[in-house]
């Protein structure tokens, strides 16, 4: 799940890079893609902190 979100944000970043190189990027598309990268990467980062009690051995005692 975590790797998938980071891979997804990398794919969107690659699309952004291609559009920047081609020069076919408007301000709104740039803002949309950067926001999408942030949201997808943030989901992966926040997922690392979400662990259920049965996955954490410290809570088994």
Give me the pLDDT at residue 20, please.
93
pLDDT one digit per residue (tens) for the chain, 61 residues: 677 888 888 999 999 999 999 998 899 999 999 999 898 888 776 665 656 656 666 666 5
Structure tokens at 35: 């926001």
Give me the pLDDT at residue 40, please.
84
Q: Please indicate, yes or no, if residue 54 is contained in any of the structural domains.
A: no
Interhelix angle for 2-22 vs 27-47, to 10°?
A: 160
Q: Please indicate, yes or no, if residue 58 is contained in any of the structural domains.
A: no
What's the domain count of the chain?
1
Range of the domain at 28: 2-47
Q: Please indicate, yes or no, if residue 29 is contained in any of the structural domains.
A: yes
Q: Please indicate, yes or no, if residue 24 is contained in any of the structural domains.
A: yes
State pTM to two decimals: 0.68
Q: Please indicate, yes or no, if residue 26 is contained in any of the structural domains.
A: yes
Q: Please indicate, yes or no, if residue 53 is contained in any of the structural domains.
A: no
């Amino acid at each position: 799940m975590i790797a998938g979100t980071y891979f997804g944000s990398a794919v969107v970043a690659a699309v952004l890079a291609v559009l920047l190189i081609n020069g076919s990027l408007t301000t709104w598309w740039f803002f949309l893609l950067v926001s999408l990268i942030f949201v997808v990467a943030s989901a992966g980062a926040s997922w690392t902190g979400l662990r259920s009690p049965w996955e954490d051995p410290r809570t088994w005692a």
